[in-house]
Amino acid sequence: MGGYGTHWVYWNVTDYASVGANNLTVNNSDWWDGRVMWMTMVAVLENNTKYIEMNYTINQGFEDLDAGGAADKSTTWFYGPANNSRNGTLWHHGLASHADFDILFNNHLEHHYPAIGGFMNLEELEINSNNISANDNNMTWDNSDGSDDFHPVMAIFMDNRVGTDLTVTDIDVGTPRPNNDSTVNATVKNWGKDDAGHFNVSLYIDNVLNGTVNVTAGLAAGASTTVSFTKVNESKGCYDFKVIVDVDGIIDEANEDNNETTVKGQVGYVILVESYHDFDDLVTESTNNLLGAGNVSHSGDTYYIKNFTGSSAIENCAGDGISIQNLNTSTKFEINNCTIKNCTHSGVYLRDLSNGTVNGSEMQNNSYYGINVYGLGDVSNTKLISITNNTINGSKIDGIDLIGLNCTVKNNNITNSTTYGIYLFGNYTDIMNNNITDNGNYGIKAYNSYNNNIYHNNFYDNNNSDNNEGLHQAWDNQNQDVNNWDDGTDGDNTGNYWDGWDIPDPLGPYSIDGDAGQVDNRPSDSQF
């Protein structure tokens, strides 16, 4: 887990683990703002199957490694006895890498990582036996030429792999369209020390056999290969995609219980954009009538995503509904008249881009945020985003989570979020003329944000559970000289409307929580 400090939590679960599903529950009720930040990994290691011996440790590194400075490296030591007659496996995980860095094992360069622009996945490296010592091993994150905000989190080293051990390490479903052929790619790996001969790999969709591929060349010890299943064709819906390696059981393996992996995948109208080329591909799909009633078009320097409604609404049981990220500043986009619902992540996810609009759309019952605007590393990485005239209901965290610069949030209806209606960690943003209703915590929480205008909003019954009844509906830890909760002009009715507040006569200020003395000096006695 990471966030304010890094935490390595581990248990011996021999007395608790059972065959089948095992649940891990995180209780964050005492966390300072009601949320766990950056829960990154849960690993279960069975040391009597894949590995006879395990040597593991945790390195928290520094909060940020100082690129090019005295603290540009962080090293962790794994003490023996490691078996230097066989290869080992190194797992490592780091946060927020915006420039190149290296991984070294016993001073040998194992991998050079280019800038990944964010939170890296848990990575696995095969360590050659020539680089393993029986007595003393070390692994180093080298940030000498990297960015100052690289944060090493964890390293685990395991040795003594046995026999042959085939597993499915990844299943890439892609974005399949209803009733249209698509391809599912599965990555298969031999974790063992011995080579495997030829074997079959099968794909099941909702436990129905879809296809089988023979890996005729077999798989060497420590090697991986990609197996592709083509002509996957399903109607709109959420499916379980299960891949089984050595489905016929012809390979004698050290562990026969780890041959299958299942992921959920959405067949529908998910929109995924990581470059303007992806936009162009969506335009082609739209031209070929693969997007139902939805449409993606291009005019001038702007791409338009619109009319994904009704039976063509966007759903995703395996991620975000619309995800757009890493665009150059010359690429603009508009999302209009779309329904995005029942996504296991956010309805709309926008990261590291500018000049975008989300207008006249509905976000319903999404598991993270209705709309998530995110500037990775710095709020200025995402800017000039306009969120207008939307209905956002039933978000499991926040209706709008906004980390950005020079954005606009106007004329939206934001209701029934589990936590905040709007969470703001951004600057120079206008939040006006929104109806913010029945959100479990504050209607708006502005954290470490400045030069924002927040007025002419209607607040109804936010932060009003049995435990919170009577508390204020907004939070800001900056004072009046930093954020404006009214427009600062003379006269009345220029702040916000706060339902349920007994307005004094003459009109007096409304206090904002956050221990900074922030107030709405000109609250309205009528709705906007």
| Domain positions in the chain | 1-161, 166-267, 300-520
| 528 vs 522: CA distance, rounded Å | 13
Is the per-residue pLDDT at 303 higher than 60? yes
| 291 vs 322: CA distance, rounded Å | 13
CA 450 centroid distance within chain: 26
Q: What is the pLDDT of residue 74?
A: 81
Which residue carries 């978000």 as its tokens? 395
Is the per-residue pLDDT at 203 higher than 80? yes
Beta-strand relationship, 224-232 and 182-190: antiparallel
| CB neighbours of residue 252 within 10 Å | 12
Q: What is the pLDDT of residue 195?
A: 94
- Percent of the chain past pLDDT 90, that is, above it, reads 55
Beta-strand relationship, 474-476 and 444-446: parallel
Tell me the C-alpha to C-alpha distance, in Å, between residue 208 and each of 133, 212, 260, 352, 403: 48, 12, 14, 40, 43
- Who has greater pLDDT, 152 or 105? 105
> What CATH number has the domain spanning 166-267?
2.60.40.10
Q: What is the pLDDT of residue 200?
A: 98
**pLDDT, average across residues 500-513:** 76
| 247 vs 257: CA distance, rounded Å | 12
DSSP at 411: S
Which residue carries 């479903």 as its tokens? 173
**pLDDT, average across residues 35-55:** 53
**pLDDT, average across residues 274-296:** 96
Maximum average pLDDT range among 18-27, 52-61, 479-488: 479-488
Q: What is the pLDDT of residue 260?
A: 95
**pLDDT, average across residues 40-46:** 58
| 123 vs 89: CA distance, rounded Å | 10
- Identify any residues that bridge with 273 across adjacent strands, giving them in sequence order: 324
The residues near 170 (Cβ < 8 Å, ≥ 6 apart) are: 186, 187, 261
Q: What is the pLDDT of residues 204-248, one digit of tens each?
A: 999 999 999 999 999 998 899 999 999 999 999 999 999 999 999
Q: What is the pLDDT of residue 45?
A: 60
| 108 vs 103: CA distance, rounded Å | 8
Q: What is the largest CA-CA distance in the chain?
A: 86
Burial readout 296-310 (b: 16 or more C-beta within 10 A, e: otherwise): beeeeeebbbbbbbe
Is the per-residue pLDDT at 51 higher than 50? no
Q: In what order do the strands lie in the sheet with 430-432?
A: 295-299, 302-306, 332-336, 354-359, 383-388, 408-410, 430-432, 453-455
Which residue carries 């562990």 as its tokens? 255
Cα-trace Rg, the chain: 26
Both tokens of 469, joined, read 């009844």
- Identify any residues that bridge with 211 across adjacent strands, giving them in sequence order: 203
Q: What is the pLDDT of residue 254?
A: 81
Is the per-residue pLDDT at 310 higher than 80? yes
Q: Which CATH architecture has domain 1-161?
A: Sandwich (2.60)
Q: What is the pLDDT of residue 368?
A: 94
- Please provide the average confidence, as pLDDT, over all residues in the chain: 85
Q: What is the pLDDT of residue 522?
A: 86
The residues near 150 (Cβ < 8 Å, ≥ 6 apart) are: 64, 65, 67, 94, 95, 96, 97, 98, 99, 101, 141, 143
Q: What is the pLDDT of residue 52?
A: 46
Element (H, E) at 315: strand 314-315
Task: State whether the Cα torsion 306-308-309-315 is positive or negative.
Answer: negative
**pLDDT, average across residues 394-412:** 97
Burial readout 8-36 (b: 16 or more C-beta within 10 A, e: otherwise): eeeeeeeeeeeeeeeeeeeeeeeeeebee
- Percent of the chain past pLDDT 70, that is, above it, reads 82
The SS3 call for residue 276 is helix
Q: What is the pLDDT of residues 110-132, one digit of tens each?
A: 988 876 656 677 788 888 888 88
pLDDT band (50, 70, 90) for residue 513: very high
Q: What is the pLDDT of residues 244-266, one digit of tens each?
A: 999 999 999 988 888 999 999 99
